[in-house]
Structure 1
Amino acid sequence: MLLITFILAVGFVSVHLFSRYLPFLDNVPRSRLLSAAGGISVAYVFIHLLPELNKHNEVLDRNIQSGALEFFENHTYIVAMIGLAIFYGLERMVKTSKKKQQEENNLDRASKGVFWIHIFSFFLYNSLIGYLLLHGEQETVTGLVFYFIALAVHFITSDHALREAHKEMYDRVGRWLLAAAILAGWAIGITWKVNENIIAVLFALLAGGVILNVMKEELPEERESNFWAFAAGLAGYTLLLMLA
């Protein structure tokens, strides 16, 4: 099983390093393949991510003894909402910075400071995804493969958005850091099992970020998504998850 998780971690790394060469990312209207990928990501959120979030909520309910941590009892979904708000704030910060750079410096990208904040947040995001290859709810090879498929297509579109925001800085530095984050999270998973309460809270924050990024990138009105390809991806991946 360890070898399988390593292979999938390398697969995630490959997506970050080579997705820039996919020729259909800038197509308008959006390619059927990307619309189907959007359907897969949305199915992952509703069929896998939210039920798993509920399991982490049960972990916190069972383990919390300290009065100082009672806020998290039955409030994992609030933590997920906070995660969504954080990533939404990051997106607004990037757009505001990019607009300011265009007006003041005639540069079509966000500032370097904003770049590092944005990349650091996604470094943590990716590290947790790498860690969950080993310590997530996926207990079978099939479950791991489905986890990989959903997040690989999600990475393709999120990489494209990061490249649009930061241009050559993302290709020169950012994609390498995000690829390294996957391996770092996987390596931490081998050497250290993080307290399940901490993972529950971090997973909730991650879930909020995934939900925002999926809805922002996989359902873009301006790219004229193909509904039938989206629906096929949604239905096909849902069926596979239910049969697994």
Structure 2
Amino acid sequence: MRLPIITFGMALAFCAVHLFVGRLRWLDRTPRSRWLSFAGGVAVGYVFLHILPELGAHASTFEDATGLDAPLAEGLVYTLSLVGLALFYGLERALALSRGERMAREGRDRPHHPVFWLHIAASALLVALIAYLLNHREDPSAAGLALYFAAMVLHFVTADFGTRADHPEIYDARGRWVLAAATLGGWALGLLVELPELAIGCLFAFVGGGIVLLVLKEELPEDRKSFFLPFLGGALLYAALVLGETYLAAA
């Protein structure tokens, strides 16, 4: 477990992103801000250099806890990740359809309130687990925690910016407070409760798929008019930091 004061400071930084992303006016532009593309690149680097390897590591936990054969245990982990990706994809599609329906009927480019709140609830689950993992990560090093924190801060910037764009009125009035509360709740749960490795593996696999979907949906759509070079730079910089940290840890 990490020093609580350090992880608490990191959780507060996550909350600050949730609460104040609407004030980053310079991000709200077309074509897409280069900083958002850079942040997206870092988040994609996190997906490939942390999420996917950790999913593989959790496969051994599933194998030991359930007695399943290694290929079946690994398949189960990735199936849970696929379920998470499919769920968040379904939520994104529901938002898009709801916005289209309200635009056609009422001339308002906003999703229906229940659909948006369902999206907020799913996002709250994700941010709570991310905050929980501040106190329970497989990588015990300070450098590993710092890289995790940096990647998640930038991920929250892009994810919260996209969520707020769907319905800024609800997000600013109540949605951001729900996400901040979920963050602090997840951090506190990490101090008070140490879940079994199997439970952490299930949750991580599920939300790992959600993170993959959220990262890619913010960068890939053509109407985002994203910038490739900042995106590539963010991914390469994060990869260099991770590889450097791994090399120093092994030396």
User: Is 57-66 or 208-217 further displaced after alignment?
Assistant: 57-66
Per the alignment, residue 210 of structure 1 pairs with: 211
User: Is 118-127 or 26-35 further displaced after alignment?
Assistant: 26-35
For 2:199 and 2:207, how far apart are their aligned partners in 1?
A: 12
Instruction: Report the TM-score when normalising by structure 1.
Output: 0.93
Instruction: Report the TM-score when normalising by structure 2.
Output: 0.91
1:146 aligns with 2:174: no
Matched to 1:171, the amino acid is D
Find the residue that maps to 2:27 and give its secondary structure.
coil
Q: Deviations over 1:134-193 (max 9, x none)?
A: 112231222111111111111111111111212200111111101111110010111111
For 1:140 and 1:198, how far apart are their aligned partners in 2?
A: 23
Q: Which runs of 5+ in 1 are unaligned?
A: none
1:63 aligns with 2:65: yes
User: Is 128-137 or 158-167 further displaced after alignment?
Assistant: 158-167
Q: Which runs of 5+ in 2 are unaligned?
A: 246-251
Per the alignment, residue 14 of structure 1 pairs with: 16
1:117 aligns with 2:114: no
For 1:233 and 1:21, how far apart are their aligned partners in 2?
A: 23
Per the alignment, residue 35 of structure 1 pairs with: 37
Say if 1:158 and 1:217, in contact at 8 Å, map to a contact too.
Answer: yes
Q: Deviations over 1:98-140 (max 9, x none)?
A: 1112222333211111122111111111111111011122312
Per the alignment, residue 128 of structure 2 pairs with: 127
Matched to 1:35, the amino acid is S
Per the alignment, residue 196 of structure 2 pairs with: 195
Per the alignment, residue 91 of structure 1 pairs with: 92
Give the superposition deviation at 1:219.
3.2
Structure 1 stretches of 4+ moved >4 Å: 70-73
Q: Deviations over 1:54-107 (max 9, x none)?
A: 1111111111149xxx97564211111111000000011111111112222333
For 1:78 and 1:25, how far apart are their aligned partners in 2?
A: 35
Q: Deviations over 1:189-235 (max 9, x none)?
A: 11111121111111111110000000001334222222221111111
Say if 2:218 and 2:224, in contact at 8 Å, map to a contact too.
Answer: no
For 1:221 and 1:206, how far apart are their aligned partners in 2?
A: 25
Per the alignment, residue 187 of structure 2 pairs with: 186
Say if 1:157 and 1:218, in contact at 8 Å, map to a contact too.
Answer: no
Overall identity of the aligned pairs, in %:
44
Matched to 2:128, the amino acid is S
